[in-house]
Amino acid sequence: MKYRLIDPTLFDMLLVGILFFLILILSVRERVNLEKQLIIGSLRTIFQLIMIGYIIEYIFHLNRLYIVLLALAFMVLVATQTATTRQKKKIKGLFGLMGFSIFLGTLITTFIVTFVVLKIDPWYSPVYLLPLAGMILGNSMNSAAIAGERFYSELHSRLQQVETLLILGHDFKFACAKAKREAVKAAMVPTLNSMMTVGLVALPGMMTGQILAGANPVLATKYQIIVMLMIASTVTITSVIFVNLSMRRYFSKGQQIKKYLFKDN
């Protein structure tokens, strides 16, 4: 059975506004007071997606290596800035640590998916590379942000324990090992929850999009399996790299924890 591709008209897109008005009504009725943020967020969503749609179409048409690399570099910078601003404590060199972690986590996973699994030719083909790298990068950004924030919170709540371990002669890596494990776990929980329920509770976005576009459901499933595993990979790699890199910044050269970093501003 063949399925026709449904191309929503402008009027159809305007009808989606019904959902937006339902959100506004509930926000007003329940006194959530998020009407302004909802309006701004919706307008930004529409503008940004329309803009990126035309930009990606232009990049697809050009199909030039340097254009693809510039687009990826811009995406990494935006992701790094976003993840950095989510951190409660701005440690020294945070932007660089965050950027390196996100870049490396994205690079490793993207390389395996595009070179080893899908064997894209040429490897920089924007039709494949940009969507895949975008998904990987978005999850890498979120995992770094969650891991960083959770690591700080864990250290904050374990200050006495960490100090005691340092006094007993242990190094800073041993002293904050539990905090590191909890931070990585926190970054991985959303992905693990999705993996446990995928296909049972809901169909993931990529699979749904492919099916709506007329792709064979079995083919869509194959791609979704690749996507789920690549997300799990980048989340784990990025969170582990960031926590290990940032961990040293909370301790002095004499292996003493910097208490001033945990004072409430």
Q: State the Cα angle at 100 between 80 and 88, rounded to 5°.
A: 50
Q: Are residues 183 and 151 in contact, defined by beta-carbon separation less than 8 angstroms?
A: yes
Contact 124, 248 (CB under 8 A): no
Q: What value does the mean pLDDT take over residues 17-40?
A: 88
Residue 55 DSSP label:
H
Q: Give the N- to C-terminal CA distance of the chain in Å, as an integer.
A: 63
| H or E stretch covering 182 | helix 177-197
pLDDT of residue 89: 84
Nearest 10 degrees: Cα torsion 258, 262, 264, 265: 50
pLDDT score for 154: 92
Q: How far is CA 208 from CA 134, 190, 219, 231, 257, in A?
A: 17, 19, 12, 17, 48
Taking residues 166-195, what's their average pLDDT?
91
**How does pLDDT run across 37-46, given as a tens digit for each residue?**
989 988 999 8
Residue 4 has pLDDT above 70, yes or no: no
Task: Give the per-residue SS3 of 98-151.
Answer: HHHHHHHHHHHHHHHHHHHHCCCCCCCCHHHHHHHHHHHHHHHHHHHHHHHHHH
User: pLDDT tens for residues 198-236?
Assistant: 877 766 777 777 777 777 888 888 888 888 899 999 999
Q: What is the mean pLDDT of the chain?
A: 88
The closest of 161, 114, 115, 146 to 240, measured between CA atoms, is 146
Around 217, how many Cα atoms within 13 Å sit in the side-chain half-sphere? 5
**Structure tokens given for 58:** 């232009």
> What per-residue string of b and e applies to 25-35 under the rule 16 or more CB within 10 Å gives b?
eebeeeeeeee
